[in-house]
C-alpha cells in the first residue's frame, strides 16, 4: 500500500520549491512541444504516481524546470484517475511562474498583463476584457496565450470567446496572417478553448463561416454540460459560444443558420427575467426578432409579467408588420406597475411607492428611446407626467427627458407643451425654484429650451420676425448656447440682425478656442484632468465652426484630434460635419455612419447622414 499522499505532496512541494527552477514563459511553448518532449513529459507525469518518493521528487523537479513546455499535458493530468498524479499535476500547474507577456507585445498589452498571474480570478477576468477592447486586434496574441495557458477553464474559454468576437478583416491576406498567428499561439494544445480557436482560425483563412464544424463543437460542449468532470462546460459558456457562432453566421449572411442555432439551443437560456432580457436584447441587436417571439412562446408567463420583455416581443411583432399585435403587447406593458387610479388607491400607496413606480416607467421609457421606439417611450413618459404633480422631482426629470427626445424628433410645439407648465409654475414659486436647483435641475435651461423651440416652431411656419426675439432670449439664458447660435446664424434677417449674430459668433469662437487652450494647459499641469476634457473642448470648437464659419481646416483638425483622445458617437458626428463643411462628402458619410453605429436610432444623426449622402450623390452626378 502506498504512503499517505497528503504527507508526500507536502514533501514534494517543499522539495520542488527548493529546486533550481527555470521561470516559465508563455513564449517557451509558442510553437508547441516536439514529439520527443511530449513523450518525455508523459513519462515524467506517470512517475508522479510512483511508489518511490525520490522518483516522485525528481519527476516533479524535472517538470517544473520544463515550465510551460509541459503545461498542456500537465493540465490534462489534473483529471487523471490516479489521485496522486492528479494532485501533483494540480500543484505543478498552479505553481508555474509565468511571464504572460512577450517583448513583442505592444506596451499597452504588456501593461495589461503585468502581474497577471498574481491576480484573483475577478481581476484576471477584467484584464481579459481589457485586452479584448484594444483596437486593431492588438490584444489577440495575448488572448490566445491566455486561452491556451490560463489555469481556470472559465477564463480560458472567456479569452477564446474574446478572440472570436473581434472584427474579421475584409482583406484576405490580413485574415490569413491572423489565422496563422492564432495557430502558432495554440501549438498542440487540445483544450476546449483551443479547439474553438482552431476552427475560428480556419474560418479566418478561408473567409467563411464553417457552419457544420461549429455545430459539432457546440454539440460536444452541450454534452459536457451534463458531465460531472471539472472540465465540463457550463450552460452559460455554451450559450455564449452559440450566440457568437450565430453572430458570425449573420455576418456571413447566413441568417437561417443563425436563427436555427438560436432555436436549437433555446433550452440553455435560464427562465429568469435577467437571462430572458439578455437573450431578447441579443436577438434584437442582431435582427433575429422572430427568435424573441419564440422566447415568448416558451416563457409566456414570465414575459407577461415584465414590461421590458413585453416591449421586446412588441418590437418583434412590429418588425414583422403585425402592428395590431405589437400595440396590444405594448398596452399590456404600459399597464404593468400602475399609478393609483383614484384617491382611495393613492392613500394605500406611500409617496415612496409612487416615486418608485415613476422611476420604473422612466427607466423603461429610456430603454425604449434608446432602441428608437419613440412612440412607446413617449407614452411611458407621459404616464408619469399625468400622474404626478408638476412640482415633484420625478415629474421635472421626466419633462426634461421627454422634451429632449421630442426636440431630437423636431416636434417643437410638443417640447413647448411639455416644458411650459413647469416653467410657469416655477415663475410663481421661488421655493420650488430653489428646490429644483438643489436637485440640479436648472430652471433657466428649461426656460431657454422652451423659448428656443417656440422660435423653431415659428421658423417652421415662416414667421422669422416672431422667431428672432425668442432666439435672442433663449441664447441669453442658456449656459451652452452653441446650437442656438447656429440656428441664429442660419436664420435670415436685416443688417442689424446679421451684425448681432456675427458679433456673438466671433465672441463664441474666440471663447471656444480659449477653452481648448485652457484645457490643454490643465491637462499638462494635472494628469487627473485627462484627455477627455481636452477632447470635449476640441469637439465644441469644431462643431461650432463647422456649422457656421471660420477656419474650417482647423475645425477638422481639432475634431480628428478629439477622436484620437476620446472617441464617441457625438465626436464622430462632429467630424462628419467638419468633412462636409470642407467639401469631403465621402469622409463625411463614413464618419457619420461610425457615429450612428455608436448611437443607433439617433434622429439628428440620421438626418445628418441623409444630408451627407445626398450631397455625395449630387457630387457624383455632377462628375459624371
Number of Cβ within 10 Å of residue 12's Cβ equals 23
> Do the Cβ atoms of 479 and 444 come closer than 8 Å?
yes
The answer to whether position 574 is within a domain reads yes
pLDDT category of residue 188 using cuts at 50, 70 and 90:
confident
Q: Judge whether 220 lies within some domain.
A: no
Tell me which of 44, 73, 99 is where a domain ends.
99
Length of the chain, please? 624
Q: Residue 538's domain is classified under what CATH number?
A: 1.25.40.10
Residue 49 lies in a domain: yes
Q: Please, are residues 100 and 110 in contact by the beta-carbon 8 Å criterion?
A: no
If you average pLDDT over every residue of the chain, what do you get?
86
Distance in angstroms (rounded) separating the CA atoms of residues 373 and 431: 37
Q: Grid coordinates standing for 178?
A: 491572423
pLDDT tens-place string over residues 429-475: 777 777 776 665 677 889 999 999 999 999 999 999 999 999 999 99
- Cα end-to-end distance, the chain, whole Å: 92
Choose the final residue of a domain: 99, 123, 153: 99
Residue 551 lies in a domain: yes
Task: Report yes or no on 132 lying in a domain.
Answer: no
* Euclidean distance between CA atoms 12 and 200, whole angstroms: 40
What does pTM read for this prediction? 0.76
Report yes or no on 9 lying in a domain: yes
Report the alpha-carbon distance of residue 186 to residue 197 in Å, rounded: 8
Q: Which long-range contacts (CB under 8 A, 24 or more apart) does 466-470 make?
A: 467/491, 468/493, 468/497
Q: Say which DSSP state 552 is in.
A: H
Q: Which alpha helices (DSSP H) does 349-411 contain, by range? A: 351-370, 374-387, 393-408
What confidence tens digit (pLDDT) does each residue in 278-295 have? Answer: 999 999 999 999 999 999
Encode pLDDT of 358-417 as tens digits.
999 999 999 999 999 999 999 999 999 999 988 888 898 999 999 999 999 999 999 999
Q: Which of 14-28, 434-448, 495-509 has the lowest mean pLDDT?
A: 14-28
- Any domain includes 500: no
H helix runs in 116-191, sequence order:
121-133, 140-149, 153-164, 172-186
Over residues 67-113, the pLDDT tens digits come to 666 766 777 787 788 888 888 878 777 665 556 788 888 999 999 88
Structural domain for 46, as ranges: 5-99
Q: Of 41, 76, 99, at which residue does a domain stop? A: 99
Domain count, the chain: 2
For residue 202, being part of any structural domain is answered with: no
63 compared with 456, residue with greater pLDDT: 456
Residue 475 CB partners (closer than 8 Å, separation 6+): 448, 481, 484, 485, 488, 504
Going by C-alpha positions, the residue among 247, 244, 221, 220 that lies closest to residue 234 is: 221
Say what the alpha-carbon torsion angle 604, 606, 611, 615 is, to the nearest 10 degrees. Answer: 150
Most confident of 87-91, 186-190, 231-235, 250-254: 250-254
The CA distances from residue 442 to 400, 415, 445, 449, 477, in Å, are: 10, 16, 5, 11, 11
Amino acid at each position: 500500500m502506498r504512503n499517505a499522499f497528503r504527507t508526500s505532496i507536502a514533501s514534494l512541494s517543499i522539495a520542488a520549491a527548493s529546486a533550481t527552477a527555470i521561470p516559465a514563459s508563455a513564449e517557451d511553448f509558442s510553437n508547441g512541444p516536439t514529439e520527443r518532449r511530449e513523450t518525455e513529459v508523459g513519462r515524467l507525469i506517470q512517475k508522479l504516481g510512483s511508489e518511490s518518493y525520490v522518483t516522485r521528487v525528481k519527476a516533479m523537479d524535472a517538470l517544473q524546470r520544463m515550465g510551460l513546455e509541459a503545461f498542456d499535458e500537465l493540465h490534462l493530468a489534473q483529471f487523471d484517475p490516479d489521485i496522486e498524479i492528479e494532485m501533483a499535476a494540480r500543484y505543478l500547474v498552479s505553481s508555474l511562474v509565468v511571464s504572460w507577456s512577450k517583448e513583442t507585445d505592444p506596451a499597452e498589452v504588456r501593461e495589461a498583463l503585468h502581474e497577471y498571474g498574481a491576480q484573483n480570478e475577478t481581476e484576471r477576468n477584467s484584464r481579459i476584457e481589457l485586452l479584448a477592447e484594444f483596437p486593431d486586434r492588438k490584444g489577440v496574441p495575448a488572448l490566445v496565450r491566455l486561452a491556451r495557458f490560463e489555469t481556470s477553464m472559465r477564463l480560458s474559454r472567456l479569452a477564446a470567446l474574446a478572440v472570436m468576437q473581434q472584427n474579421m478583416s475584409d482583406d484576405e491576406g490580413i485574415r490569413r496572417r491572423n489565422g496563422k498567428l492564432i495557430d502558432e499561439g495554440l501549438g498542440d494544445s487540445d483544450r476546449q478553448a483551443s479547439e474553438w480557436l482552431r476552427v475560428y482560425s480556419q474560418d479566418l483563412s478561408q473567409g467563411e463561416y464553417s457552419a457544420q464544424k461549429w455545430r459539432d463543437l457546440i454539440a460536444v460542449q452541450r454534452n459536457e454540460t451534463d458531465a460531472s468532470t471539472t472540465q465540463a462546460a457550463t450552460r452559460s459558456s455554451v450559450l455564449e459560444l452559440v450566440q457568437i457562432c450565430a453572430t458570425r453566421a449573420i455576418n456571413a449572411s447566413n441568417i437561417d443558420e443563425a436563427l436555427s442555432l438560436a432555436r436549437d439551443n433555446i433550452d440553455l437560456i435560464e427562465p429568469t427575467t435577467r437571462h430572458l432580457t439578455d437573450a431578447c436584447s441579443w436577438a434584437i441587436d442582431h435582427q433575429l426578432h422572430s427568435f424573441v417571439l419564440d422566447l415568448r412562446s416558451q416563457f409566456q408567463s414570465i414575459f407577461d409579467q415584465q414590461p421590458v420583455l413585453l416591449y421586446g416581443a412588441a418590437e418583434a411583432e412590429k418588425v414583422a408588420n403585425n402592428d395590431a399585435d405589437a400595440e396590444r403587447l405594448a398596452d399590456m406593458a404600459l399597464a404593468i406597475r400602475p399609478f393609483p387610479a383614484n384617491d382611495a388607491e393613492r392613500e394605500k400607496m406611500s409617496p415612496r411607492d409612487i416615486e418608485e413606480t415613476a422611476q420604473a416607467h422612466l427607466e423603461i421609457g429610456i430603454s425604449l428611446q434608446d432602441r428608437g421606439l419613440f412612440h412607446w417611450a413617449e407614452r411611458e413618459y407621459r404616464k408619469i407626467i399625468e400622474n404626478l404633480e408638476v412640482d415633484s422631482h420625478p415629474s421635472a426629470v421626466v419633462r426634461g427627458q421627454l422634451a429632449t427626445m421630442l426636440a431630437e424628433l423636431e416636434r417643437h410645439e410638443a417640447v413647448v407643451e411639455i416644458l411650459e407648465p413647469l416653467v410657469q409654475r416655477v415663475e410663481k414659486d421661488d421655493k420650488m425654484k430653489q428646490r429644483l436647483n438643489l436637485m440640479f435641475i436648472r430652471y433657466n435651461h428649461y426656460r431657454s429650451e422652451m423659448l428656443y423651440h417656440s422660435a423653431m416652431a415659428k421658423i417652421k411656419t415662416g414667421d422669422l420676425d416672431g422667431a428672432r426675439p425668442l432666439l435672442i432670449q433663449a441664447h441669453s439664458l442658456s449656459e451652452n448656447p452653441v446650437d442656438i447660435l447656429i440656428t441664429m446664424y442660419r436664420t435670415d434677417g436685416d443688417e442689424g440682425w446679421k451684425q448681432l449674430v456675427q458679433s456673438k459668433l466671433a465672441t463664441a469662437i474666440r471663447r471656444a478656442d480659449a477653452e481648448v487652450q485652457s484645457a490643454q494647459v490643465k491637462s499638462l499641469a494635472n494628469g487627473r484632468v485627462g484627455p477627455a476634457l481636452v477632447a470635449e473642448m476640441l469637439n465644441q470648437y469644431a462643431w461650432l465652426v463647422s456649422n457656421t464659419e471660420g477656419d474650417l481646416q482647423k475645425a477638422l483638425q481639432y475634431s480628428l484630434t478629439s477622436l484620437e483622445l476620446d472617441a464617441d458617437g457625438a465626436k464622430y458626428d462632429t467630424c462628419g460635419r467638419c468633412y462636409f463643411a470642407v467639401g469631403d462628402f465621402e469622409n463625411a458619410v463614413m464618419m457619420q455612419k461610425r457615429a450612428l453605429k455608436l448611437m443607433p436610432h439617433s434622429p439628428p444623426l440620421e438626418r445628418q447622414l441623409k444630408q451627407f449622402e445626398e450631397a455625395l450623390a449630387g457630387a457624383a452626378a455632377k462628375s459624371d
